[in-house]
Amino acid sequence: MTQNPLLADWTTAFGVPPFDLIHAGRFPPAFEAAMAAHSAEIAAIGSDPAPPSFANTVEALERSGRLLDRVQAVFFNLAASQATEAYQAVEREVAPLLARHGSAVALDPANFARIAALHAARDQLGLAPDQARLLDRLHMNRLRAGAGLDAAGRARMSAISARLAALHTAFGQNVLKDEDAWQLVLSEADLDGLPPFARDAARQAAAERGVEGCVVTLSRSSIEPFLTFSARRDLREIAWRAWVERGSGTLGADNRPLIREILALRAERARLLGHADFARYRLADSMAGAPEAAERLLRQVWSPAVRRAEAERAELAELARAGGQDAPLEAWDWRYWSEKLRQARHAIDASALKPFFPLDAMIGAAFETAGRLFGLRFAERADIPTYHPDVRAFEVQGPCGAHVGVLLLDNFARPAKRSGAWMSSFRVAEALDAPVSPIVVNNNNVAKSDPALLSYDEAETLFHEFGHALHGLLSAARYPSQSGTAVLRDFVEFPSQVLEHWLSVPETLRRHARHHETGEPLPEAMLARLLASRTHGQGFATVEFVSSALIDLALHRHPDPASLDIDAFEAAFLAGIGMPRGIVLRHRPAHFQHLFSGGGYAAGYYAYMWAEVLDADAFDAFREAGDPFHPDLAGKLKAIYAAGDTSDPMELYVAFRGAEPRVDALLRHRGLAEA
């Protein structure tokens, strides 16, 4: 029998998975073998007759489960980027099995007894700072998983984890099902107002789906340009309604029953661990510390954002009337007239900007930024395996050509690929026994065309995800569980969001924003207008985001989530916070994947805004220094990327900045300081 490549040694360049040998059917037996191996390792640690020590317990746990980590990393990356029915079937099968296995590990009494004994004696162990933090957080995470409960409580926690895993999987697959199934087929006569790049992308989408003419899909890179530029108000309404109804049952899949069960199970888990609600449980382990602190920040931003949004609405309604629209301004009109206003006010047209932002040039801009800040170089390598023809592979090198890691770029939207943009890892950096270099992947969902042209927002998203990639690539943590992005949830977005600022550095734009046909740089007048227009529409954008973060906290503090009427709750909540008419949540509950296709951002969507306080204040340091590439500041910033979870996040930030951040920088950055 041929050996399963997932269980074999890999001889590929830099140990990248041999994707050509891997298919969905390989995973069930690989998961079975890897979980069995991990269970044996955990049993051996727990039954070790030697007294517990940091080496035979904590470091042994760090070494355990490496095969399972490898199989999981490959599977979940592939399941997100090419979610065929075969991969989805495996995901439905293994998600609860993995959850039960993870619970068995986290709740193992023998291991917890050893960890607790070490934690009680931690001051006498002579630990290095990273080791002391590792032990503290290991002990705390075991308690938060339920290891301190009685046998009945541990059993219930395990059952909850398994059921949640199945529900999360179903939720995400339902959203993808709606996004893949829906399309708006257009004839050439329906393209009024669409610029060439949007028409090309619609033709490309039609070709990929085997449809004559042009197609608008529910990929954000397709739907948002259509809502921004299409002069056909009737078609904008159809597209907008489909976009906001994903997962609600209207298009086919209904996630609302799943939401109720997910929220109820999370609330039960929190109560088992002594917390009043899930939000309080989740934020106990965060920089915010409590829901009240997160909500206080959001409310500080909400009031000026609403004032700005109401002023924007009045301007847009007046412009729409002048443009011949007799009907009231609706949600499907907002982007269209906002773009018209931006053109009028700043003499800048988003469609005229796109030719200056070809994808390859923006990748080059990101690479050069990382080179100037952190001394990195990116060499494209044809010998590194990839899992799809769209994917490009790069060896990342440091000073003197030293190998740092591998970066895979998967930039294009396609059927069966999850929407949105994200970073993940096939392997994390560590140095427990020997240096291990990271293998990082960046996913975007750019509409494929020839050439691929980005909006400014898409270029900013590319920088954002690249910031996450750098967080993984630059990690100098000794232990795998402290590596790279394995930090508190409301700190993980800081390294990504702060990097976005370097796209707006005039020097970056002058060097890299060049016309894809002529090579001419972005005209200085246009560059100035672009930078001046960056706060345009920030009332809308901020309201759209903050309302989503507020409803996240409200849903996870609801006293009886099992009885929730999701639609009624959403309507009442938005009325209660004074949601401006014509704006909806950036993510309505039925397709809010940050919250319900996994638990990572549950009661934690506010983290993006929390991190923006940090990133706006951090980039102010470079402004104050008068040099966006100031070497001393760049070195201090690199230390944050390198640290992973080896230190408290606020301590890391204060070491960089000299003080804790304030919300003022965020309000200035968004143009809301005077709102």
- In order of 66, 146, 252, 435, the CA distances from 46 in angstroms are 18, 17, 48, 27
What distance in Å separates the CA atoms of residue 264 and residue 260, rounded to the nearest whole number? 6
Contact between 465 and 503 under an 8 Å Cβ cutoff? The reply is: no
Kindly give the residue spans of alpha helices, DSSP state H, lying in 347-391. 350-353, 359-374
Give, rounded to a whole angstrom, the gap between the first and last alpha carbons of the chain: 69
Is the sign of the CA dihedral 231, 411, 610, 293 positive or negative? positive
Which of 295, 465, 500, 570 is the catalytic position? Answer: 465
Question: Which of 178, 197, 188 is closest to 232 using CA atoms?
Answer: 188
Active site residue 570: no
Q: What are phi and psi of 522, to 5 degrees?
A: -55, 125
Residue in the block written with tokens 């691929």: 452
What distance in Å separates the CA atoms of residue 464 and residue 459, rounded to the nearest whole number? 9
Give the 3-state secondary structure of residue 285: coil
Question: Which of 66, 69, 7, 9 is closest to 33 using CA atoms?
Answer: 7
Residues in a beta bridge with 248: 254
Contact between 490 and 288 under an 8 Å Cβ cutoff? The reply is: yes
Question: Which of 385, 437, 446 is closest to 412 using CA atoms?
Answer: 446
**Sheet arrangement for strand 439-446:** 377-380, 392-397, 403-412, 439-446, 422-427
Residue 371 corresponds to which tokens in the numbers above? Answer: 């080179």
Contact between 138 and 61 under an 8 Å Cβ cutoff? The reply is: yes
Task: Please give the full DSSP string across 47-82, using - where no structure is assigned.
Answer: T--SPP-IIIIIIHHHHTTHHHHHHHHHHHHHHHHS
What distance in Å separates the CA atoms of residue 238 and residue 244, rounded to the nearest whole number? 10
Work out whether strand 439-446 and strand 403-412 pair parallel, antiparallel, or are unpaired: parallel
Residues in a beta bridge with 423: 442
Contact between 425 and 472 under an 8 Å Cβ cutoff? The reply is: yes
Q: Give the Cα-Cα-Cα angle 272, 275, 276 (nearest 5 degrees).
A: 110
Helix (H) / strand (E) element for 404: namely: strand 403-412
Task: Please give the full DSSP string across 204-260, using - where no structure is assigned.
Answer: HHHHHHT-SSEEE-SSHHHHHHHHHH---HHHHHHHHHHHHTTTBSSSS-B-HHHHH
Q: What are phi and psi of 251, to 5 degrees?
A: -95, -5
Residue in the block written with tokens 């309201």: 543
Q: Which residues are catalytic?
A: 465
